[in-house]
Amino acid sequence: MPQQVPRLAAVFAVAVIGLFVARSLLVPDTFGDLGHYRAAAIDTIVAHPKEYAGHQECTMCHRPIAEQRAASNHRGVRCEVCHGPAAAHVANPLEIKPAVPRERDLCVLCHAYSPSRPTGFPQIDSVTHNPRMPCAGCHEPHAPEPPVTPRECSACHGQIANQLAVSHHAELNCGTCHEAPKEHRDNPRAVRPTKPAERSFCGTCHAADARSSERIPRIDLRSHGQPYVCWQCHYPHYPEAR
Ligand code: HEC
Ligand code: HEC
Ligand code: HEC
Ligand code: HEC
Ligand code: HEC
Ligand code: HEC
Ligand code: HEC
Ligand code: HEC
């Protein structure tokens, strides 16, 4: 017999014995009692304090909110997704209050634009979508809907509309001088209307040779007020000739 065979056999025997020693030292007692896992793990898990109550628990005391949510776009979003674990609150409602998440971060977690979201899922760009205001200021978190925005310019630009209404320009509409895209009413800071940029714009009514009502006072567009734009001297929403 070549002498390396007993040497290899000895190494093999040591490895097998080592394996059994390690197994008896390292494998937990109850391993394998119920399956390929540590049976005692069940007791450890059961012993964890209960943190989540489940949304059914909330209905008893918060029925209006629960019914509102169940009928809303957020019917799939459970109370504790937003308010955090609330089992302690259910056990002791007056002493322990769940978090009331008013920061924008919470909503952005689900509603920020992402190509990985399903098509049609309502998404916004939180940088341009009405920043500096909490989402709940415009959307009811328990029954969210895109709010209906006012259609009239005067609803948001009341002061300008009031001034215009009693000015020499009372007969002009906002649309005469501003082109306001529909989206401006929904997302006013991100989508802006146009503003007149040149003297010639006012000249369409006020230039000496303009084809407008004769009643409208005329100026010599080439010399009057040069080199300034008209609204440096005349406030366009309340123009005065003095
Ligand atoms: C046993 C009744 C009861 C149950 C069940 C209950 N609540 Fe309340 N909850 C209350 C009371 C009472 C208040 C305090 C109302 C107040 O202060 O005006 C409250 C307040 C709250 C508040 C507001 C905290 C604040 O700071 O204003 C939230 C959020 C809330 N509960 C969420 C939940 C959620 C989520 C559940 C279900 C997991 C739940 N509650 C279950 C009784 C209950
Ligand atoms: C999508 C997140 C979200 C879900 C889901 C949600 N809430 Fe709220 N909840 C909020 C936010 C945000 C506020 C703060 C509203 C505010 O500041 O006007 C709030 C406020 C509250 C308040 C305080 C009362 C008030 O109007 O100030 C209670 C109570 C409450 N929620 C209970 C619940 C219960 C019960 C459920 C489940 C039926 C639930 N919420 C589901 C986000 C959520
Ligand atoms: C856990 C994820 C989640 C969170 C957090 C969440 N939402 Fe939603 N939201 C949804 C789901 C799901 C829908 C329903 C989508 C659908 O109908 O396709 C929805 C619908 C909406 C809609 C309706 C849009 C439409 O076009 O009808 C608005 C508005 C909305 N959420 C605002 C909010 C606001 C504000 C908050 C924070 C208080 C918030 N969401 C937090 C998941 C979430
Ligand atoms: C100043 C009021 C205002 C605030 C604050 C606001 N929104 Fe909106 N939101 C609107 C209006 C108006 C619309 C409908 C027009 C539009 O689609 O832009 C809308 C639409 C939405 C929609 C539906 C988009 C779609 O394509 O169906 C979602 C989702 C939404 N908002 C979520 C949010 C979230 C999340 C926040 C906070 C990070 C927030 N909003 C803050 C006014 C607001
Ligand atoms: C929902 C509210 C709302 C409505 C409706 C609305 N606006 Fe605005 N508008 C705003 C806000 C907010 C701003 C930004 C003001 C700022 O940033 O100082 C703005 C800005 C403007 C500006 C200035 C743009 C700039 O670049 O300086 C013009 C012009 C304007 N709006 C015209 C209109 C006209 C015309 C209408 C009607 C077709 C209208 N708006 C309807 C809210 C509204
Ligand atoms: C005769 C033309 C004219 C009409 C009509 C008019 N605007 Fe203007 N508007 C202007 C001009 C020009 C400016 C630019 C002023 C500047 O840059 O100083 C302006 C600026 C604005 C601005 C920017 C903020 C400000 O005060 O400078 C808003 C907002 C605005 N207009 C809203 C309106 C609304 C709303 C109406 C209708 C109620 C309206 N405008 C009607 C010519 C007009
Ligand atoms: C669509 C035509 C039209 C446009 C465009 C127009 N205006 Fe006028 N403007 C009028 C009318 C109409 C009057 C009033 C005439 C009257 O009193 O009967 C008037 C009056 C005036 C007056 C005289 C006020 C007074 O005290 O008598 C001034 C100044 C004036 N506009 C400046 C401007 C400026 C600046 C612009 C450009 C931002 C402008 N207008 C654009 C139609 C227009
Ligand atoms: C440097 C300041 C200034 C500028 C810029 C200016 N104006 Fe005037 N505008 C005046 C003054 C001051 C008066 C009144 C005295 C006069 O009639 O010259 C006046 C008067 C007017 C009148 C009334 C004329 C009448 O006969 O009653 C109209 C209309 C007018 N301006 C339109 C415009 C238009 C349109 C522009 C731009 C093309 C413009 N202004 C630019 C200062 C200015």
Instruction: Answer whether 124 contacts ligand 3 (Cβ < 6 A).
Output: no
Mutate to test the pocket of ligand 2, among 63, 97, 142, 145 (most ligand atoms within 8 A of CB): 142
Read off the pLDDT of each residue in 137-161 and give the average, rounded to a whole number: 88
Instruction: Answer whether 185 contacts ligand 6 (Cβ < 6 A).
Output: no
Can you give the pLDDT at residue 237?
Answer: 96
In 10 A of CB 228, how many CB atoms?
10
Question: How far is Cα 143 from Cα 72, in angstroms, rounded to an integer?
Answer: 5
pLDDT band at 85; cut points 50, 70, 90: very high
Nearest protein CA to atom 39 of ligand 7, as residue: 202
Q: What share of the chain is helix, strand, coil (3-state, %, to 5)?
A: 40, 0, 60
Can you give the pLDDT at residue 242?
Answer: 65
Task: Pull the structure tokens for residue 194.
Answer: 């146009």
Mean model confidence pLDDT for the chain = 92
Q: With CA atoms as reference, report the closest residue to 189 among 133, 104, 130.
A: 130
Question: How far is Cα 156 from Cα 150, in angstroms, rounded to an integer?
Answer: 8
Q: Is the pLDDT of residue 120 over 90?
A: no
Can you give the pLDDT at residue 53?
Answer: 93
Q: How far is the CA of 93 from the centre of ligand 1 (A)?
A: 6
Read off the pLDDT of each residue in 88-104 and give the average, rounded to a whole number: 94
Can you give the pLDDT at residue 143?
Answer: 94
Where do the domains of the chain lie? 4-47, 55-137, 153-232
Q: Is the pLDDT of residue 61 over 90?
A: yes
- Own/partner pairs, 132-138, CB within 8 angstroms, 24+ separation: 134/102, 134/103, 134/104, 135/104, 135/107, 136/102
Q: How far is the CA of 142 from the centre of ligand 1 (A)?
A: 14
Instruction: Answer whether 138 contacts ligand 2 (Cβ < 6 A).
Output: no
Q: How far is the CA of 192 from the centre of ligand 7 (A)?
A: 24
Enter the DSSP assignment of 155: H
Q: How many CA atoms lie within 13 A of 211 on its CB side?
A: 0
Q: How far is the CA of 146 from the centre of ligand 4 (A)?
A: 6
Question: How far is Cα 156 from Cα 224, in angstroms, rounded to an integer?
Answer: 34
Instruction: Answer whether 63 contacts ligand 2 (Cβ < 6 A).
Output: no
Kindly report, residue by residue over 179-234, the tens digit of the pLDDT. 999 889 888 888 999 999 999 999 999 999 999 888 999 999 999 999 999 999 99
Read off the pLDDT of each residue in 43-69 and give the average, rounded to a whole number: 94
Assign 118 to helix, strand or coil.
coil
Residue 239's alpha-carbon distances to 36, 96, 131, 161, 171, in angstroms, are: 86, 61, 34, 14, 13
Q: Is the pLDDT of residue 5 over 80?
A: yes
Can you give the pLDDT at residue 217?
Answer: 94
Q: Is the separation of the CB atoms in 201 and 214 below 8 Å?
A: no
